[in-house]
Amino acid sequence: MTRIGIIVGSTRSSRVGDQVGAWVHGVASQRTDAEFELIDLATFALPVLDEPQMASTGVYEHEHTQRWSAAVGACDGYVFVTAEYNHGVPGALKNAFDFLYREWANKAVGFVSYGAEGGVRAVESWRVIVANAHLADVRGAVHLRRYGGEFRQDVFTPEAHRAKELSALLDQVIAWTRALAVLRDPAG
């Protein structure tokens, strides 16, 4: 069964990403065409990148990196739940991304973003970043406006049409993940 990791990328104490991630997981878990795992970056407590070897070697000295590698590597594709900080990607998620390399390769990723303008600038940045790790980003995305939209006093209440947008995103991530399987395991 195809396994999709839903990675919640904000680690701030005042974050709303955990609410968005729980919603994504709740909608996704109603599907039967893949398994979905919620991976909350905050639970890994990764320091600023501290591995002595380059990530492309796959040699990890620290236990925190090994745990992160195991969680990411167990998935066939991903949905990044990403905030937009200062017109860019959240530092904690970028740092976590940089810890690994091979674990990302030949997999698909989709984005659910939130921010002042729906997180679109963060997603634009992510598309450039993930390409270097051989991650295929899908076209569909869900962009949630942080202010004056579906967040009221830091409580996320998605509008009904968002589930349809998310379903279309998941359709693409699952299809691309399956199509890329031959690259991950050429022997079949």
Residues of the chain with pLDDT below 50 are none
User: What pLDDT score was predicted for residue 188?
Assistant: 56
Tokens 């997981």, residue located: 25
Task: Give the Cβ contact number of residue 52 at 10 Å.
Answer: 9
Which residues partner with 81 through β-bridges? 8, 112
pLDDT digits (tens, 9 = 90+) for 150-178: 898 889 999 999 999 999 999 999 999 99
- Within 8 A by CB and 6+ apart from 90, the residues are 9, 10, 11, 82, 83, 84, 122
Q: pTM to 2 decimals?
A: 0.96
